[in-house]
Amino acid sequence: MPIAAAAGTQLRGGMAMVDKALGQGGRKSDKDLKIRVKTAKKRTVSSTKWLERQLNDPYVARARAEGYRSRAAFKIKEMDEKHKLFHKGTRVVDLGAAPGGWSQVAAKAVGSTDANPLVVGIDYLDMDPIPGVILLKKDFTEDDAPQMLIDAMGGKKADLVMSDMAWPTTGHRPTDHLRIVQLVEIAADFALDVLAPGGAFVAKVFQGGTEHELLHMLKRHFRSTFHAKPPSSRSDSAEAYLIAKGFKGRPEDSEDDSD
Ligand SMILES: C[S@@+](CC[C@H](N)C(=O)[O-])C[C@H]1O[C@@H](n2cnc3c(N)ncnc32)[C@H](O)[C@@H]1O
């Protein structure tokens, strides 16, 4: 199963061999799953479990019903409802955008149109076009990616940089953690370069992490910095979001952010 499956599940795709077994009461454990998936020759136990969870996930059903490409769309929606991230006219950069749920939510919330696009998304995966969103197919960690994003914004400053990026996991927790911290640091550095004063930064991190330096750096540059775990982020996932609001601006001479 691709890494995007963890939080940004693409909702189009083949039908599963399902066995409708009605569970009693709420969905609390595997025992209570309403739809059971039979193991198939080519399917591993973990992908069977993943498929079963997808088929029983109310957010997956809602995403399909409301036309979102991923259940992840609800994470940014819920964070916006609570922390007021989008306003009409907000310029947004979406890092790790595929399959496009966050960009869809952003475009609608800020009033972005093809004639006046306010949202730019980047991912190394292919994405179908989204009305009002400029999509770049590119690895964000490549040297020329930041400039490509700035060019796509017509050289204008952004009001919100949001990152749902995560590398494919290796299964070795400390390694995976270091890799995500590095990704968030690159995203944060980019945010400091492109945000307009008052702007905000949202990034996926993993709980129990060691992003202290990053947090310290963000605290110096933003008026408020905090963690969020939106209800649609699975409780059994270590995923959380770091939100920094009220960008103070980056002094021209502040080259060294390490303190
Ligand atoms: C959880 S998914 C994002 C889901 C998305 N927010 C949505 O609502 O549809 C994470 C995405 O980050 C992308 N990604 C990870 N590392 C990246 C990188 N270095 N450059 C660009 N995209 C990256 C992956 O390809 C994947 O599509």
Ligand 1 centroid, distance to 250 Cα (angstroms): 27
Asked whether residue 233 carries a pLDDT value surpassing 60, the answer given is yes
Residue 117 CB–ligand 1 contact under 6 Å:
no
Q: Are strands 119-123 and 158-163 parallel, antiparallel or unpaired?
A: unpaired
Residue 5 CB–ligand 1 contact under 6 Å:
no
Q: Which amino acid is at 93?
A: V
100 marked as binding residue: yes
Backbone dihedral angles phi then psi of residue 101, each to the nearest 5 degrees: -60, -50
Q: Which fold has domain 73-247?
A: Rossmann fold (3.40.50)
Confidence of residue 29 (pLDDT cuts 50, 70, 90): very low
139 marked as binding residue: yes
Closest CA to 248 of 212, 203, 196: 196
Give the C-alpha separation, 163 to 32, whole Å.
34
Catalytic site residue from 20, 138, 157, 204: 204
Instruction: Decide: 103 and 8 in contact? Cβ < 8 Å.
Output: no
CA 246 to chain CA mean position, Å: 20
Ligand 1 centroid, distance to 254 Cα (angstroms): 30
In this structure, what token pair is assigned to residue 184?
A: 């968030």
Residues 6+ apart with CB under 8 A from 238: 206, 207, 208
144 marked as binding residue: no
- Residue 144 is predicted with a pLDDT of 98
- Mean pLDDT within 167-178: 81
Asked whether residue 19 carries a pLDDT value surpassing 90, the answer given is no
- Mean pLDDT within 161-172: 89
Q: Are strands 18-20 and 239-247 parallel, antiparallel or unpaired?
A: unpaired
Instruction: Decide: 242 and 205 in contact? Cβ < 8 Å.
Output: yes
- Mean pLDDT within 51-74: 89
Closest CA to 223 of 205, 252, 203, 243: 243
Q: Where are the domains of the chain?
A: 3-66, 73-247
- Mean pLDDT within 93-111: 98
> Which of ligand 1's atoms lies nearest the C-alpha of 140?
20
Cα-Cα-Cα-Cα torsion 219, 223, 227, 228, nearest 10 degrees, comes to -160
Indicate if 41 belongs to the active site: no
